[in-house]
Amino acid sequence: MAAPDGPGETDGDEEARREAEAFKEQGNAYYAKKDYNEAFNYYTKAIDTCPNNASYYGNRAATLMMLGRFREALEDAQQSVRLDDSFVRGHLREGKCHLSLGNAMAASRCFQRVLELDHKNSQAQQELKNATTVLEYEKIAEVDFEKRDFRKVVFCMDRALEFAPACHRFKILKAECLALLGRYPEAQSVASDILRMDSTNADALYVRGLCLYYEDCIEKAVQFFVQALRMAPDHEKACLACRNAKALKAKKEDGNKAFKKGNYKLAYELYTEALGIDPNNIKTNAKLYCNRGTVNSKLRKLEEAIDDCTNAVKLDDTYVKAYLRRAQCYMDTEQYEDAVRDYEKVYQTEKTKEHKQLLKNAQVELKKSKRKDYYKILGVNKNASEDEIKKAYRKRALMHHPDRHSGASAEVQKEEEKKFKEVGEAFTILSDPKKKARYDSGQDLEEDGLNMGASGPGNFFFQFG
């Protein structure tokens, strides 16, 4: 009788080994054809038939790696080296899985073990360098995140992900920094990719919420933060963001209610408190500044209103409402050039009839502001009646009449004569309904032949004297 191949080995074991080898060979054939799903099935059959063979686990690990299933591949690679600690390819695959998943330290240990077994192994030498590079990028990113240099963190994570494409941690850090840079669609895309693979990933849920929060969709953001906290109750960032979002929403709503009730002082205080909650929330803070600017304009604190609107457009330079509010304040403070500039910006953004008319009105006021202000010369407002204009004329004409200043110096006489003529000129225009209408509309009176002509100021003075 022939001796058995090993202690306790039977003919059944030999047959199982042959069957397992056949499955392995079929798996190899499918692997060579890049049909990794079928290769996986046959390697699994080989393992089920002969579960103590390290190479079967190693082969299935390689297949799972090609399918991008690195966590499962890692388990198989680890099992292969547990069965055979001298299995070089098993250690290499374990290291590659660790590195792909972002655990560069564990990967380094695996590659070092390979070099202990085969000190000339060039693949292990290169992979060890790659693991070291990833560790360096991690350290740099950690420092730069603390410095709030989010662009550099994104750069570091992009480089690290070249070696660790399946690392959720790196992807989440990149997505969070993209959100903090205002690159919301990119951040959402990264987080959504992770959630498609793992719908319970608390970090990805937090980043989705963060994007919505910074886009001023606060109610939806809170839902994602709450979901993240259900998955990970100790998630500090989600907890802080959720608290800030709820506080911001409440303060803003309370400010809006106070404004609608006409309690502008309280509205101002509430909007100011809301602005102190989270300086990173650019879109919401832009709206809060604009709202506070509206409150200030209601309180006739126009320069403060202008400052608030300026802060709003610094945060969001596409915020039409803030430009419109600031332009109106510029109009109210007779800063017409600034008003024209803001209305031009608005009209370029939204070419509506209303915006076109606002721009035209500002341009007219700017043109009028560069001419003599006849109302100011007579000391009346723009809504003065005909009688008020006449009375004001008499008063100013007497005040500046040359006869009253005949004993003054030549310089004073010249100045008073100039003012006397301006008074007459002002009255000539404002006392004539047709000329007044054209003057008020900003038309050039001299071009239209509506200047004073032969009617000098003295004629009017004597007429009313």
Query: Which homologous superfamily is 374-440 in?
Result: DnaJ domain (1.10.287.110)
Classify 1 as helix, strand or coil. Answer: coil
Per domain, the residue ranges of the chain are 12-199, 275-370, 374-440
In terms of residues, how long is the chain? 465
Q: By the 8 A CB rule, do 315 and 282 touch?
A: yes
Q: What is the pLDDT of residues 231-269, one digit of tens each?
A: 999 999 999 999 999 999 999 999 999 999 999 999 999
Q: What is the pLDDT of residue 465?
A: 41
pLDDT band at residue 280 using 50, 70 and 90 as cut-offs: confident
pLDDT of residue 136: 97
Identify which has the larger pLDDT, 440 or 179.
Answer: 179
Q: Is the pLDDT of residue 31 over 90?
A: yes
* pLDDT score for 2: 34
Cα separation, 384 vs 376, whole angstroms: 11
> What's the angle, vertex CA 335, arms to CA 330 and CA 337, rounded to 5?
105
Q: How crowded is residue 216: how many other Cβ atoms within 10 Å of its Cβ?
A: 17
CB contact set of 294 (below 8 Å; sequence gap of 6+): 259, 305, 325
Contact 91, 78 (CB under 8 A): no
**Where do we find the tokens 């709450």?**
226
Handedness of CA 146, 152, 153, 159 (dihedral sign): negative
Domain spanning 275-370: which superfamily? Tetratricopeptide repeat domain (1.25.40.10)
3-state secondary structure 247-283: HHHHHHHHHHHHHHCCCHHHHHHHHHHHHCCCCCCHH
State how far the Cα of 402 lies from the Cα of 413, in Å rounded to an integer: 7
Across the chain, what does the average pLDDT equal? 89
Higher-confidence residue of 304 and 411: namely 304
The whole-number pLDDT of residue 6 equals 42
**Are 12-199 and 374-440 the same fold in CATH?**
no
Is residue 315 within 8 Å of residue 285, measured between CB atoms? yes
Please, which residues have CB within 8 angstroms of residue 312's CB and are 6 or more apart in sequence? Answer: 286, 287, 289, 290, 293, 319, 322
User: What sign for the dihedral angle of Cα 271, 273, 275, 280?
Assistant: negative
Q: At residue 57, does pLDDT exceed 90?
A: yes
The CATH number fitting domain 12-199, selected from 1.10.540.10, 1.20.210.10, 3.40.50.300, 1.25.40.10: 1.25.40.10
More confident call, 217 vs 429 = 217
- pLDDT of 3 > 50? The answer is no
Higher pLDDT, 426 or 265: 265
Q: Please count the other Cβ atoms lying within 10 Å of the Cβ belonging to residue 328.
A: 21
Q: How many angstroms separate the CA atoms of 297 and 94, rounded?
A: 67
Say if residue 408's pLDDT is above 90. no
171-198 burial code (b ≥16 CB/10 A, e <16): bbbbbbbbbbeebbeebbebbeebeeee
Per-residue confidence at 11, pLDDT binned at 50, 70, 90? low
Choice between 367 and 96, residue whose per-residue pLDDT is larger = 96
Q: Are 107 and 127 in contact (CB under 8 A)?
A: yes
Q: Say whether pLDDT at 395 is over 90.
A: no
Measured distance CA(87)–CA(97) in Å, rounded: 16
What percent of the chain has a predicted confidence (pLDDT) above 90? Answer: 72
- Taking only Cα atoms into account, the Rg of the chain, rounded to an integer number of angstroms, comes to 40
Closest CA to 311 of 297, 323, 299: 323
For residue 222, the model assigns a pLDDT of 94
- Element holding 7 (H helix, E strand): none
What pTM value is reported for the model? 0.69
Going by pLDDT thresholds of 50, 70 and 90, the confidence category of residue 444 is low
305-322: per-residue pLDDT in tens? 999 999 999 999 999 999
pLDDT at 323: 96
